[in-house]
A and B are shown apart, each in its own frame.
Chain A
Amino acid sequence: MSKNNNGRDVIKTVNAAVSEFHARQEELIPILMKVSQELGYVPNDALEQISEVMHIPQSRVYSVASFYHMISTKPTGRHVIKFCESAPCHVAGGKAVWDALLEELQIKPGETSPDGKWTLKTTSCLGVCAVGPVMLVDDDIYGNISPDQVHDILERYE
């Protein structure tokens, strides 16, 4: 997506996020989350802009951004799959579903598919263990997944 490379869009997005939350140190994480959500990740020029507007050294902004799983510092695909890798889902048959996912996507966790459609990540427990195995595709949550459902679920996304 060219949005990330368009310097103006990045500046606009950052400024909008900062206005929404105010330029205070304690709002850094909500601002980073918002930018990560809007742009798919936090590119370098966003880090620069945040540092400038909030008067926080860029290294510190990066150190916070890279600490939290839900803030991406690398580009992601159009759709992000987060598969729950926690024990209860594992015990409920998560391994087989995970294998089916890997087979379907042909990428490793942390990677983005060559066509830019999918990024595969693991996530820690989503708190719906009783309907495990569980995964998130963007904001949609799927439970009670069996390996044969994986293909159909992924088909729903452009």
Chain B
Amino acid sequence: MNAIKSLDDLKNVREAALAKRKISENSGSTQVIVGMGTCGIAAGARETMKSVLDYIEANNIENVVVTQTGCIGLCEQEPIMQVVLSGKEKVTYGKVNPDVAKKIMKEHVGSGNLVQDHVITL
């Protein structure tokens, strides 16, 4: 990794990051994001994350990128999981225990059908 030694260097890193993001958004892959702030973990986010990863492995799913994020601020809805299908809007789910996570992976990620009971909006 080259150190940033000038304004131009910073610009380049930024553009590369943005392009990478755009490419992954349009690459046909699905993004699954699990909130792993302390409030999420206190509510069981580690088990939720494990459930997601186990499901992917058990069903040999390709083209899904799983990442984590910090506290969104909706702590009482934790564990929170977000799904971004390629080219679609981000959908946020609340109170996602391991079973609900499996359901979301199967129905939303697998078939594109939202699990309405757990969708949260503000």
B119 contacts partner chain A, Cβ-Cβ < 8 Å: no
**Residue A154 lies at the interface, judged by CB distance under 8 Å to chain B:** no
Measured CA separation A128–B44 after assembly (Å): 13
A142-B43 Cα distance, complex, nearest whole Å: 7
Task: Tell whether B66 is near chain A: CB-to-CB under 8 Å.
Answer: no
- Tell me if B52 counts as interface (CB < 8 A to partner A): no
Q: Mark A135-152, 1 if CB is under 8 A from B, else 0.
A: 000000111100000000
Interface residues of A in 117-131 (CB under 8 A from B): 126-131
Whether a CB of chain A sits under 8 angstroms from the CB of B65 is no
Contact of B78 among A127, A129, A131, A142 (CB under 8 A): A131
Do B38 and A130 touch across chains, with their CB atoms under 8 A apart? no
- Chain B contacts for A127, CB-based, 8 A: 38
Q: How far is the CB of A89 from chain B (nearest CB, A)?
A: 11
Q: B75 within 8 Å of A by Cβ?
A: yes
Closest to A134 in B: B42
Identify the interface centre among A126, A142, A143: most chain B CB within 10 Å of its CB: A143
Q: Which chain B residues border A129 with CB–CB below 8 Å?
A: 75
Question: For residue A135, which residue of chain B has the nearest CB?
Answer: B42
Q: For B44, what are the chain A residues with a Cβ–Cβ distance below 8 Å?
A: 143
Look across to chain A and name the residue whose beta carbon is closest to the beta carbon of B95.
A144
Whose C-beta in chain B lies nearest to the C-beta of A130? Answer: B75
Is B107 engaged at the interface, CB distance under 8 Å to the other chain? no
> With a CB–CB cut-off of 8 A, which chain A residues contact B38?
126-128, 141
Q: How far is the CB of A36 from chain B (nearest CB, A)?
A: 22
Alpha-carbon distance A126/B39, docked complex (angstroms): 10
Which residues of chain B from 27 to 65 have any CB-CB distance to chain A below 8 Å in the complex? 38-39, 41-44
